[in-house]
Structure 1
Amino acid sequence: MLADQGLQRKRQLEYQEELNESGKKLKIVFDNVEAGIIVVSRSGTITFANRQMAEMFGMSLTELIGTHYVDHLYESEKHAGIKSMGQIVDGNVKSVELDRRYVRKDGSDFWGHLTGTRFDNTDGSMRDQIIVISDITERKQAEEVKKILEQQLQQAQKMESLGVLAGGIAHDFNNILSIIIGNSYLAKLNLEAAEGYISTIEQAAERAAGLCRQMLSYAGKATCDIADVDIRALLDDLINMLKSTVTQNVAITYTNSTQIPFVKGDVNQLGQIVINLIINASEAIGSKQGEIHVELSNKDIRKGSQDTDHLGKVISAGQYVCLEVRDNGCGMEDETKQRIFEPFYTTKPTGRGLGMSAVLGIISAHNGALQLTSHLSQGTTFNIYLPAHVNSCGVDQSKQQVFSSSAWQGSGTILLAEDMQEIRTMVKSMLCTLGFEVIEAANGKEALELYEKRAADIKMVLTDIGMPIMDGYELFRELKIINPKLPIMVSSGYGDAAVTSKIERSEIAGLVNKPYRIEQLQDVLRTVVECY
């Protein structure tokens, strides 16, 4: 009996000694690992910490143990820290792994990657959680430096691309100006045929306006005008213009089906697709004799069809208008085909237009698809699929409306604020043609003074935005203070998005973007008169 008790006592002492030894070994491990380790109670109090954790917080073990875990979190991290601890306490999650920002005793901060694991009692209730934290400050700093360098690189690439872009835009504008100046001279020489020359001048001017809208779109300052577009008529106009733009060694041929449905989209952006593809094809041909063939057809892609786009993605079933642009130029190697749609990528020393990245973006925005086939020394073919608007009953937006002086006429007095004398004279003539009397002002300050003197006579205001002394924005605000119900229309070359970013759209009676035709101004004025 006594012998058994002695043996039991000996075993207990040996077990206790082994336990103490294991505890010492565990403490050595805890104190020598690179990660910080803490045990946090259900209430959030730190009940145990290793030496590394105390050093991370810049505290002694005595100072650290007994503090609340959340008190060591960076201020912006506390809400998320309390939420994640609550999820563990409630049993919604058993463990977490994430990055947290912490604060040291001296107020400095560091980043830590933590893993937190819940430990339960035998009855399933939470006993505590063990949190292991690794200092990842250097990694975070390296990531931040990398991010800054990437942003700087992107900015440098964009600045470089702007030079490329400017050269292309200047080329396009010079071509347009050549058409305008040349046809103006021909009209003077032959007044009987002037109407035909003037029509060509108008088309070129519309192209210049479209180019400006594309630049605003590139800068993120333009909105899309979605309408039913007769793409067949659009191509007729553009190809006729481009035939005089590309070099004489390049022939442009064009075929189309007789029944081409309308396409729902923005006429200027769709035109930009055609222009970019044809100009790129012309440059691929270079100085040798070559041909660009443009074809417009109907394409019915049935369900289960294996037609794929340039990325190998199956094109959705439906009816499409297919635009094909094919050249017999130099063709592309595989690397170029893979990179051609990257922003600002070019194989040419001087770029042109907004590039293939913009083309692909426009196609995607119109829910279309693109196919690309190209072989070195054999040429390139682009096929563009645009969803057909088969039952379209809209107006053909690619054709210019014809103004008639017998159409809608207004009445009353309009205050016109415009700093550029030539534009002010032209717009005044338009307004008078439409039945209005006009009071002119060369800037916002002058317009405000005129309104204060003649408020009883002025029915509405048409103001430019960019003016000296007082701009259109300030004039708008000052006039609304005097008369909140006064209809104010805005005429701007900056695009709708730029204007409505500073003035609520609901506050603007009407918007007309420069350059505009008299029928566009007429539509805006009629809407304002009917609404006010």
Structure 2
Amino acid sequence: MSSLVVENPRSRIPEGLTVDPVSAAHMANSFLRTALDQASEGIMIVAPAFQPHLGPRILLHNTRMAALVGAEPSRGLCDRFLTQLAATEEEAGDLLRVLRCTVKQGGAAQWEGGMKTFFGDKVVRCIWRIRAVMDEHGRVYNYTLAVTPSPTPVTAAPDRSSFSPVPAPAVTDDSRRLRNDNLATMAIGVFHDLNNLLGIMMTNLSEAVTISPAQGQVRSHVEEALAAARQACDFVKETMRMAKGMPENRAPSDVAQIIRMTARITQSGSGVNLHMSLPKDLWWAMADAPRISQVLQNLILNGIQAMNNRGHMDVLARNIVAPQGHHALRPGPYVEILVRDRGCGMDPEDAARALHESFTRKENGNGVGLTTCKHIITEHGGQIAVSSMKNVGTEFMFWLPATQPQQQQGKDAAPMTPPRVRSGLGTILVVDDEERLRNVVHAVLKRCGYRVFEASNGEDAVQTYRQLLRQNDDVDMVIMDLTLKGTLSGEQAMKEICAMDPSARVIASSGGMLEESREGFISEGFCDILPKPYLAADVADVVHQVLMKDIKGEHSGRAA
């Protein structure tokens, strides 16, 4: 890795002109961060001092490093230690030994070992290139680490008798992998922004439903728009889980609801008329809903493309029981799902290959979609099959093991209209850089009986909180957006508020947040989370629940 040098910002200033050194330092820092974020490898800068049992603290990192680890974009790896990324305690010790020996080895070293991710137990084998940054006296300023996943081992020994270039397929695979990694990183940021916009829509729509007359055409239109926004929200969250590479979360899942949501969104914008036939008593399945949705999306998109974006498709489902001696399934109950198109179809030979190898007839296709579908279904204990005829169409059929009947009792679909908004008493500080969302949250909480203050950034939030404390005016709750414009992030603002008032209660909110990350945020000092987008009732509920916990003595601090 080439060393990063920040040129003195005063070196090119024409004689006679002066520049504010603080502004120049901010500009140089901006240039450095921009350069780091353009790198294709994960880069970290860590402190020269080693904390006992923890090693050096991480001072700075680029977005690629956060993506490799699976960190939240708004939080990154700040305030973490290098050894916390190592897969095991033994490897953490090895990494520290290599780090200490870097200076003796001329300032550079390399180590290969496992890196933990923040989601699940997944470990990524990586190459860690280490450089000690020293002054002219040999004192270490910091350590710079460049981290890249280890390449897949080559099974056959290379021919060293000739110096032929790298085969084109390997270059293509590396390019595709890099492109997919970059797309996944960008997707998380896009989902964050999309959730913020959905939040404005859903909070306003749910508030409109609450204050509009119970009967009438306007109320009906608002409820329909809210239902569509909630479906979009569910789809974004499920796709975000896949982009973040979160572990499977299998639970009793409403297969009919998964089919409806996925089919409607996948069909959107196409010229294909999609017919669904889903019985009312369709069984549930023990499944990871986002991954099953991924399978359905892939099969439906294949059909739309095979039909040149026009015509009719079918998505059908039914309950079946596989008997003893079934040729493909173990005995027991299953949900059978069929996706049928009327497109160009495949030859028998191509159909036989479709699920067993990277096969495609599409221009610019990579042929891994169907094999991925098969892998997901078989991991769930099911099976998938394909039947096709040239110029007639293609049918994909797959089976998922169904849950026992008692597991689906009481699992009615969530109502589309929002529940009653809870009232309460207290003072709430709402911190968000999106004015439209601040305004509607302010209106919701005020209607519930709370007194509400607002702040658009972390600095204003800390200052407002401090002023209220000086006036002996307690703030009962802070709703803190994590991604704020300015020098203070939401997490940093929370820490400053808690430093001046240890009994402060701060709820974390973000468009890049998932319910699975609740415990992590609570361990960092937040009292609860409010993932975006949310309904008006969600805001009132989380505030009410946290305040009630304090009244019941479950948390230390002031009672509301």
Q: Give the structure-1-normalised TM-score.
A: 0.56
Alignment counterpart, residue 406 of structure 2, candidates 369, 391, 400: 391
Alignment counterpart, residue 468 of structure 1, candidates 481, 485, 492: 485
SS in 2 for 1:419: coil
Q: How does 1:97-496 map to 2 (within 5 A)?
A: 153-160=172-179, 193-220=217-244, 228-236=252-260, 239=263, 245-247=269-271, 250-265=272-287, 267=289, 269-286=291-308, 290-307=311-328, 315-333=329-347, 334=349, 338=353, 347-349=361-363, 356=370, 359-360=373-374, 363=377, 366-389=380-403, 390-393=405-408, 396=411, 399-405=414-420, 408-455=422-469, 456-469=473-486, 470-496=488-514
SS in 1 for 2:270: coil
Structure 1 unaligned residues grouped into runs of 5+:
1-75, 81-137, 185-190, 308-314
Alignment CA distance shift 1:465-1:417 (3 Å):
same
Percent of aligned pairs with the same amino acid:
22
Distance 2:281 2:356 in 1: 32
Note the alpha carbon deviations across 1:438-467, whole angstroms, 9 max, x for none.
211101111111222224521122111111
Distance 2:409 2:462 in 1: 41
Residue identity matched to 2:479: L
Residue 263 of structure 1, CA deviation: 3.2
Distance 1:376 1:435 in 2: 66
Distance 2:432 2:373 in 1: 35
Note the alpha carbon deviations across 1:357-410, whole angstroms, 9 max, x for none.
6655654565544333334333222223223232125664854453243x5333
Distance 1:476 1:148 in 2: 52
Q: How does 1:83-98 map to 2 (within 5 A)?
A: none
Between stretches 473-482 and 219-228, larger displacement belongs to 219-228
C-alpha contact (below 8 Å) 1:465/1:490 kept by paired residues: yes
Residue 494 of structure 1, CA deviation: 1.4
Between stretches 507-516 and 363-372, larger displacement belongs to 363-372
Residue 520 of structure 1, CA deviation: 3.5
Distance 2:343 2:241 in 1: 30
Distance 1:358 1:495 in 2: 27
C-alpha contact (below 8 Å) 1:512/1:524 kept by paired residues: yes
Alignment CA distance shift 1:413-1:221 (3 Å):
farther
Query: Larger Cα Rg: Structure 1 or Structure 2?
Result: 1
C-alpha contact (below 8 Å) 1:417/1:440 kept by paired residues: yes
C-alpha contact (below 8 Å) 1:221/1:497 kept by paired residues: no
Match of residue 22 from structure 2: none
Residue identity matched to 1:463: M
Alignment CA distance shift 1:363-1:463 (3 Å):
farther
C-alpha contact (below 8 Å) 1:246/1:279 kept by paired residues: no
Distance 2:539 2:419 in 1: 13
C-alpha contact (below 8 Å) 1:221/1:495 kept by paired residues: no
Residue 513 of structure 1, CA deviation: 2.0
Residue 425 of structure 1, CA deviation: 1.4
C-alpha contact (below 8 Å) 2:338/2:397 kept by paired residues: yes
Alignment CA distance shift 1:347-1:139 (3 Å):
closer
Residue 501 of structure 1, CA deviation: 10
Q: How does 1:30-69 map to 2 (within 5 A)?
A: none
Alignment CA distance shift 1:148-1:328 (3 Å):
closer
Residue identity matched to 1:294: V
The one of the two structures with greater contact order (alpha-carbon pairs below 8 A, sep at least 6) is 2
SS in 2 for 1:296: strand
Alignment CA distance shift 1:391-1:439 (3 Å):
same
Distance 1:461 1:526 in 2: 13
Note the alpha carbon deviations across 1:79-124, whole angstroms, 9 max, x for none.
99xxxxxxxxxxxxxxxxxxxxxxxxxxxxxxxxxxxxxxxxxxxx
Match of residue 513 from structure 1: 531
Supply the RMSD in Å over aligned alpha carbons. 4.9
Residue identity matched to 2:283: P
Distance 2:357 2:500 in 1: 51
Alignment CA distance shift 1:148-1:454 (3 Å):
farther
Match of residue 114 from structure 2: none
Distance 1:195 1:212 in 2: 26
Residue 487 of structure 1, CA deviation: 2.7
Residue 303 of structure 1, CA deviation: 4.4
Residue identity matched to 1:460: M
Alignment CA distance shift 1:153-1:393 (3 Å):
same
C-alpha contact (below 8 Å) 2:355/2:374 kept by paired residues: no
Residue identity matched to 2:441: V
SS in 1 for 2:402: strand
Comparing both structures, which one devotes a greater share of its residues to helix? 1
C-alpha contact (below 8 Å) 1:223/1:496 kept by paired residues: no
Residue 147 of structure 1, CA deviation: 11
Match of residue 92 from structure 1: none
Match of residue 7 from structure 1: none
Residue identity matched to 2:549: C
Residue 262 of structure 1, CA deviation: 2.8
Structure 2 unaligned residues grouped into runs of 5+:
1-89, 95-155, 206-214, 551-560
Alignment CA distance shift 1:236-1:501 (3 Å):
closer
Q: How does 1:9-28 map to 2 (within 5 A)?
A: none
**Number of residues paired by the alignment?**
369
